[in-house]
């Protein structure tokens, strides 16, 4: 395995609907961990 200097999504903007819980939340956190700017939307957020 090789080391990365930047996340896979660095410099990208990602919109995640249903990000308040479950899969939507997991996806939002994963995108953020990879360097993306994340826009979230949920009825409870």
Q: What is the tens place of the pLDDT at every residue in 12-40?
A: 999 999 999 999 999 999 999 999 999 99
Q: What is the pLDDT of residue 17?
A: 94
* pTM, 2 dp: 0.79
Write the CB contacts of 42 (distance below 8 Å, at least 6 apart in sequence). 17, 18, 19, 20, 21, 24
What is residue 44's predicted lDDT score, i.e. its pLDDT?
72
Residue 2 clears pLDDT 90, i.e. is over it: no
What is the model's pLDDT at position 45?
A: 56
**So what's the pLDDT on residue 5?**
61
pLDDT, position 8 = 86
Q: Which helix (H) or strand (E) holds 16?
A: strand 13-17
Q: What is the largest CA-CA distance in the chain?
A: 40
Interacting residues of 24 by C-beta distance below 8 A, sequence separation 6+: 16, 17, 18, 40, 42
């Amino acid at each position: 395995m090789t080391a990365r200097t930047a996340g896979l999504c660095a410099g990208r903007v990602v919109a995640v609907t249903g990000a308040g819980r479950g899969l939507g939340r997991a996806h939002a956190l994963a995108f953020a961990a990879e360097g993306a700017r994340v826009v979230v939307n949920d009825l409870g957020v």
